[in-house]
A and B are shown apart, each in its own frame.
Chain A
Amino acid sequence: MKKSRNIFFRIIKLVLIIPVLLLSAGCWDYQDINRRTISIAFGVDKVDGIYQYSTEVAKLTSDEGQAQGSIQIPKGYIVISEGENLESAKIDYSYKIPLDDFTGGVRIALFGENFAREGIEAYVNRLDNIYGYRKTTAMAVSRETPCELLQTKIKNDISTGFYMYDMIISLSKIGHTLYRNLGDVLKYIAMKEVGFLLPYIGKEGDNIVYLGLAVIKNSSLVDILEGEDAKGVLYLLSERKPLFSEAIPTPGNKNLLSFRVYAKKKKINTEYKDNRVVINVDVSLNADLEYEYYFNPITKKDVKNFEHAISNRVENMIKNSILKSQKEYECDIFQFARHFQIQHPKIYEKIEWTKEYPEAQINVSVNTKINSLGFLDPNVKTKF
């Protein structure tokens, strides 16, 4: 009798507790997803002395007149807000959105060129201290104003913000650009003595395209690296194996051979000799033959020559970009400082890296090994 009463009380307790738990879950912080303004991408720029925010916001409701029952893909729309300083631009933004701002979904933050030249540090610090922003938000510099860029109609992605983010990620996977996020940028700024690089994108015709790398020194934009210079940097800096096709001419320019080249190993050794920083950069490359322009036999000697030619070409690219960073920018965009600090922590404390770097002796050596010539046999004997 007593036992059955106990069970009875237990059931009553459960029945009382469960609804209370379920109902109290959303007492204060519950908010439905369509009661929020979800921003996907945003950009800042300075246009005629006024700060301009452009934010791409996910549109969760369907357009009027859209046929019912059709598949609904969330698209974005743009909110543009302006102000004399960053704070008033932000306030202007909050006046223009109807619902609570949710920043946890932001994929990419763009800096207009004008703004980047002035300096991004203050803004990056602002993002750091606003809890909503993820440290994995990608960062890029845009040639056009972010407002113009974000208004581009994209055909093959959900929204412009996603498109730019996906573009940077997929290009960085094959080593053609560097993916740098808020956390990375904060890390470089905290190191003070080094510069860094951000992807540089722009609009060409109706398309958003990747243009090169923006060089940031003392957290302001100083130059854009394009073409061969950018390649040299990427061979050194890209975390994934950078992969480029290099067409190498045969002696006498009779034929061209296209090779897929990737950096297998990068070794950076530093020394401090005679009051001068010495940095030895060793890069070992691997190359695979993609195809020959015209089908010709390849001898072992040719292979050696090609290896040499590839090494020379890449070495020059790297050397040029390092020289540019030393003489033109006077800024360590390769973060050699970190390697020096690891290898000589005590000397690093004494010297002033920003003064030492432009004068440093940097030796670059590149070794290439051609791994495969593909499955076509170039040395085939044509008797018949």
Chain B
Amino acid sequence: MKGNKYEILTNRQIALIVLSTTIGYGILILPKNAAENAGTAAWVAVALSTIYAFFVTYMFTYLGHVHPNMTMPDYSQMLVGKFLTFVFLIIYALNHFVFFTLLIRSVSEHISQTVLVRTPRAVIIFVFLLVAFYAVSKKLRVVALICEFYGVSIYIGLVIICILLFTQGNLNNIRPLLGTYDIKSYLKASLTLSIPFSGMETLFAVPIDKANGKKVFKYTSTAIFLVGFLYILIVESCISVRGINMIIHYKDALIEVVRSVDVVQLEFLRRLDGLFIVIWIMAVFTTVVMYFHNTVFFLSKCFNRISYNIIAIIVTIASFCLSLLPLTPSDIEKALNYTAYFNVITIIFIPLILIILTKVKKHEKK
């Protein structure tokens, strides 16, 4: 195809895109979801989910790798033709659009309940979207740079918070480490973690160059395993502080736990919530920016005649209007769960089709 059409990212940037897109809103609900079904063996469920996530990430990286310097719209057109590609793109754009709008909405809900009590929700959403729009309008390279810088800070920040939580916890709370050895419950719990672990599908808009080589697999899988490790830390530290019976009551368990400790040794930083909320908003921001970028990118591929920036503006306005719908928090939760079910198509079904067709094409050539 045409020469250097896309800006090429380094392996590190690709890995950090996966990492920072995956870590986001999900870390709040992670401890409850894992603990509710698997009890003190919650970490086993998280580990299992990490393995699923690893396979899925491998699929996406593979598709990028065998089609060097191409994104999903390009190679999908080669494999399944124009019409199906159009359908795929619309599905992805819609899914991503709904997902990031819901994220912004629920984040604004949390912010207005915790830090900015009197600020109207519309203002929070507007500011969030405006900043995200600015990042997205600068295209993939800037988004990748944000992910690179934020990803590292988020990761280190969260690990430090988890360690501080552990110092306030009690080892007895996380025992017995393997729960009641009920393997069914582990599997069931691991399936409820699809929201915290989704994010690798954004790789469809990230071109992987020949220069990235085979090393890109190492980088993306390391990113997913790092995420898994962090999630285990989060779940275990939460349980160690508050115990299994308490964690399952809270939908936003992580914020509850962070607010319930007082690390006396840190003097003026003894209350961790300020630090945590900043890091968490950064984490959600990277997720939102990446999904936002993908929505705009896919739509601009669908409608070649309209320029990228105009689509970005339209998406911003649409997202703002959608996020102002009078939904209750439970409605939003339901909607998030539905998008999670829908992920079966976007994360597993469509990439599988593409991989099979790639294999078939390769075979034909031989």
Contacts and interface: CB of A to CB of B under 8 A. Distances in A.
Contact of B243 (A28, A135, A191): A191
A363 to B, nearest CB: 20
Nearest to A192: B245
Interface string B108-130: 00000111111110010000000
Interface in A327-384: 338-339, 341-343, 345-346, 349
Contacts of B261: 135-136
Contacts of B242: 183, 187
B119 A29 contact: yes
A29 B124 CA distance: 12
A190 B243 contact: yes
B260 A338 contact: no
Interface in A138-163: none
Classify chain B: how many residues form its interface, as a range. Answer: 20 to 34
A341 B241 CA distance: 17
A27 interface: yes
A109 B95 CA distance: 48
Contacts of B120: 28
A186 interface: yes
B179 A135 contact: no
Contact of B260 (A136, A339, A341, A349): A136
B118 A342 contact: no
A187 B243 contact: yes
A8 interface: no
A326 to B, nearest CB: 21
B249 interface: yes
Contacts of A131: 113-114
A264 interface: no
Contact of B118 (A29, A187, A191, A349): A29
B337 to A, nearest CB: 24
Interface in B240-290: 241-243, 245-246, 249, 256, 259-262, 271
Q: Which of A192, A346, A349 counts the most chain B CB atoms within 10 A?
A: A346
B246 A28 contact: no
Contacts of B245: 187, 190-192
A134 interface: yes
Contacts of B167: none
B213 interface: no
Contacts of B172: 338-339, 342
Contacts of A29: 115-119
Given A187-B242, A190-B243, A342-B176, A135 B119 contact: no
B259 A135 contact: yes
Contacts of A346: 180-181
B67 interface: no
Nearest to B172: A338
A27 B118 CA distance: 9
Nearest to A348: B180
B301 interface: no
B243 A342 contact: no
Contacts of B115: 29
Contacts of B249: 190
Given A28-B116, A28-B120, A345-B179, A134 B246 contact: no
Contacts of B243: 187, 190-191
Contact of A28 (B114, B119, B176, B271): B119
Q: Which of B116, B119, B120, B176 counts the most chain A CB atoms within 10 A?
A: B176
Contacts of A192: 245
B139 interface: no
A127 B179 CA distance: 31
Please list the 4 inter-chain residue pairs (A to B) with the smallest Cβ-Cβ separation, ordered nearest first: A135-B260, A190-B245, A28-B119, A136-B262
10 contacts: A27-B123, A134-B260, A135-B259, A183-B246, A187-B246, A191-B243, A342-B172, A345-B176, A345-B179, A349-B180
Interface of B: 113-120, 123, 172, 175-176, 179-181, 241-243, 245-246, 249, 256, 259-262, 271
Interface of A: 27-29, 131, 134-136, 182-183, 186-187, 190-192, 338-339, 341-343, 345-346, 349
Given A131-B113, A345-B179, A345-B180, 11 more contacts: A29-B115, A29-B116, A29-B118, A134-B260, A134-B262, A135-B260, A135-B261, A136-B262, A187-B245, A187-B246, A191-B243
